[in-house]
Amino acid sequence: MPTNQEPNQAQANPASTENKELGFLLDIPLQVSVEIGRSKILIKDLLQMQEGSIIELDKLSGEPLDLYVNSRLIARGEAVLVKDKYGIRLTEVVSPSERIENLG
């Protein structure tokens, strides 16, 4: 005979149970970096660099910046200024399947 018992918390909200099980991971620090572009240079050019030297990067002005977490591409975005510091506004987050592909 069915009863009118309330479902237990795990059945009512499986996501909250998953969060509790993964909670120990939430305090692990991650290295976050933003890449504005890349370039290859010769050692002789590196040794000749001084203040005011310019290195041409492979990205065009206005192209999205790449956001990496622990050297893995996670998102793309645009530079913003936040209280005299630079930040990044995310415009595209890499899908979970693409993140898994990038692990290799």
Domain ranges of the chain: 30-102
Task: Give the chain as a 3 state SS string.
Answer: CCCCCCCCHHHHCHHHHHHHHHHHHCCCCCCEEEECCCCCCCHHHHHCCCCCCCCCCCCCCCCCEEEEECCEEEEEEEEEEECCEEEEEEEEECCHHHHHHHCC
Superfamily of domain 30-102: SpoA-like (2.30.330.10)
pLDDT per residue as tens, the chain (104 positions): 445 554 544 455 555 666 677 788 888 899 999 999 999 999 999 999 999 999 999 999 889 999 999 889 999 999 999 999 999 999 999 988 887 776 66
